[in-house]
């Protein structure tokens, strides 16, 4: 099989995957973008989530996290708090509205996994091993290119 044709099919599949996910996301989260939802998800999973931790997790600038957290606080998804023993550091937690969105997001993820995992039913174990190896090599290649 021709390598260029396979690469073209892979790129087309990635593009369709991104297009589908963007449409699905926009249909489900009308007033939020992907970083907003990922911030809510991270805050919901992390004890003492602060600016630094969120910045590292989302891989965006501190300024971007400032905008995200300000928007999420204004829309009442998160709130700010401090520990009694450390008045310097500020932490974020989910509000009731934020917890509802956190659970919704988690449910959507589980539904997507159940929906998408079915594609592997088309392959036998030997083929799955090749696919797994390919994906592992692809991931490492992309990580190297990002350095």
d(CA 12, CA 9): 5
Tell me if 34 sits within 8 A of 25, measured CB to CB: yes
Quickly state the pLDDT bin for 27 (edges 50, 70, 90).
Answer: confident
Total count of domains within the chain:
1
For residues 123-128, give the mean pLDDT: 97
In a domain, residue 15? The reply is no
**pLDDT (0 to 100) of residue 108:** 92
Q: Looking at residue 70, which CATH number applies to its domain?
A: 1.10.10.10
Tens digits of residue pLDDT in 130-144? 999 999 999 999 999
Please give the C-alpha separations between residue 71 and each of 35, 52, 75, 76, 79, in angstroms, as whole numbers: 11, 17, 6, 8, 11
**Cα Rg of the chain, angstroms:** 19
Tens digits of residue pLDDT in 62-92? 999 999 999 999 999 999 999 888 888 999 9
In a domain, residue 130? The reply is no
Tell me if 99 sits within 8 A of 44, measured CB to CB: yes
**pLDDT (0 to 100) of residue 88:** 86
Q: Give the residue numbers spanning the domain of 107.
A: 31-114
Tens digits of residue pLDDT in 28-66? 887 899 999 999 999 999 999 999 999 999 999 999 999
In a domain, residue 3? The reply is no
């Amino acid at each position: 099989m021709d390598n260029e044709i396979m690469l073209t099919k892979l790129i087309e599949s990635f593009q369709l995957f991104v297009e589908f996910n963007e449409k699905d996301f926009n249909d489900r989260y009308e007033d939020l973008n992907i970083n907003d939802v990922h911030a809510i998800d991270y805050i919901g999973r992390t004890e003492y989530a602060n600016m630094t931790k969120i910045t590292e997790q989302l891989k965006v600038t501190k300024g971007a996290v400032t905008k995200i957290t300000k928007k999420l606080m204004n829309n009442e998804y998160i709130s700010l708090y401090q520990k009694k023993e450390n008045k310097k550091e500020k932490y974020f937690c989910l509000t009731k509205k934020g917890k509802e969105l956190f659970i919704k997001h988690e449910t959507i993820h589980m539904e997507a996994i159940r929906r998408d995992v079915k594609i592997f039913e088309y392959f036998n174990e030997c083929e799955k091993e090749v696919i797994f190896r390919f994906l592992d090599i692809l991931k490492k290649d992309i990580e190297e290119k990002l350095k």
